[in-house]
């Protein structure tokens, strides 16, 4: 069994809790734990080969990220948003992410831009929803990665985590025209960033986020209780 096998037992330490948190985060991203689903400590411990201590630490870390809701003496659930809450989060993202991009764009390195272009191409080439979501997150987080901010970057990442399950729903709902526009916007962002057109890149990301919000608002069933 390899050292990286997620089922292998590990010591009770920060590495174990980080590994469990990463596993749960990935499972949420892939739709294995949908919004509102119960996260049972004993099942998670068995799945990831960990004791209860790192599982509890992992759940607390995911709560801080906005992915998990902990209720005292009751348990843990994958965070769920109502339609109104999701719209508010996306409206917030529409305003904050262009600002974060403005902080980051002037400092992106040539290799960053090359990686962004490669990610945009890879997203357009895959039909796997989980792979697309992984690439999409890497694309946007990389575009923001050179920003030197006190709290804006952490806030944007938390908002991303909060809407992660609904990004999956959006991707599943998107028709061929919507997917084409989505991929075109990724490429337009790269072109604007290469040309130093920060305002153009800001307009693109703002519209990109707004389009997701508007499509989700037309599908209230996504937010229905399980």
pLDDT digits (tens, 9 = 90+) for 171-219: 999 999 999 999 999 999 999 999 999 999 999 999 999 999 999 999 9
Q: Count H helices and E strands in the chain, helices first.
A: 9, 3
The ranges of the chain annotated as CATH 1.10.10.10 are 14-78
The ranges of the chain annotated as CATH 1.20.120.530 are 83-223
Give the residue-averaged pLDDT of 61-89. 92
Work out the angle at residue 161's Cα, subtended by the Cα atoms of residues 193 and 69, and round it to the nearest 5 degrees.
165
Could you tell me the pLDDT band of residue 51, with boundaries at 50, 70 and 90? very high
What backbone phi and psi angles, to 5 degrees, belong to 113?
Answer: -65, -40
Q: E-assigned strands of 65-168?
A: 68-71, 75-78
Nearest to residue 167, comparing CAs of 126, 130, 118?
130
Residues 100-122 pLDDT 10s: 999 999 999 999 999 999 999 99
| Confidence check: pLDDT of 1 > 90 | no
Give the residue-averaged pLDDT of 93-101. 98
> Residue 78 — left, alpha, or beta (φ > 0 → left; ψ -120 to 50 → alpha)?
beta
Alpha carbon distance 195, 167 (integer Å): 29
Whether residue 173 contacts residue 226, with contact meaning beta carbons closer than 8 Å, is answered with: no
| Confidence check: pLDDT of 33 > 60 | yes
Alpha carbon distance 152, 140 (integer Å): 14
The CATH class of 14-78 is mainly alpha
Residues 126-182 pLDDT 10s: 999 889 999 999 999 999 999 999 999 999 998 998 888 898 889 999 999 999 999
Q: Which residues contact 199 (CB under 8 A, 6 or more apart)?
A: none
| Confidence check: pLDDT of 3 > 70 | no
Alpha carbon distance 20, 45 (integer Å): 8
Domain at 83-223: CATH code: 1.20.120.530
Work out the angle at residue 113's Cα, subtended by the Cα atoms of residues 190 and 105, and round it to the nearest 5 degrees.
75
Cα torsion 31, 188, 102, 200: sign: negative
The confidence score (pLDDT) of residue 12 equals: 47
In this structure, what DSSP letter does residue 38 have? E
Could you tell me the pLDDT band of residue 5, with boundaries at 50, 70 and 90? very low
Whether residue 175 contacts residue 211, with contact meaning beta carbons closer than 8 Å, is answered with: no
The confidence score (pLDDT) of residue 13 equals: 52
The confidence score (pLDDT) of residue 14 equals: 63
The confidence score (pLDDT) of residue 65 equals: 86
Assigned token pair, 11? 């010591």
Model pTM score: 0.84
Whether residue 67 contacts residue 161, with contact meaning beta carbons closer than 8 Å, is answered with: yes
């Amino acid at each position: 069994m390899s050292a990286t096998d997620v089922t292998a037992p590990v010591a009770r330490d920060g590495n174990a809790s980080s590994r469990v948190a990463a596993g749960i985060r990935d499972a949420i991203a892939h739709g294995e734990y949908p919004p509102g689903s119960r996260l049972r400590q004993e099942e998670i411990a068995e799945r990831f080969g960990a004791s209860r201590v790192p599982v509890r630490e992992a759940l607390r870390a995911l709560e801080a990220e906005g992915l998990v809701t902990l209720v005292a003496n009751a348990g843990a659930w994958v965070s769920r948003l109502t339609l109104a809450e999701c719209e508010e989060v996306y409206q917030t993202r529409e305003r904050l992410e262009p600002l974060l991009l403005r902080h980051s764009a002037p400092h992106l390195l040539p290799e960053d831009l090359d990686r962004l272009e490669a990610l945009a191409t890879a997203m357009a080439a895959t039909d796997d929803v989980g792979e697309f979501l992984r690439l999409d997150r890497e694309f946007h987080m990389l575009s923001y990665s050179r920003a030197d901010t006190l709290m804006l970057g952490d806030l944007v990442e938390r908002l991303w985590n909060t809407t992660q399950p609904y990004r999956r729903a959006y991707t599943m709902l998107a028709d061929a025209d919507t997917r084409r526009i989505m991929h075109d916007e990724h490429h337009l962002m790269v072109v604007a960033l290469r040309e130093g057109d920060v305002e153009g890149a800001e307009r693109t990301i703002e519209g990109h986020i707004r389009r997701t919000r508007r499509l989700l608002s037309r599908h209230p069933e996504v937010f229905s209780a399980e």
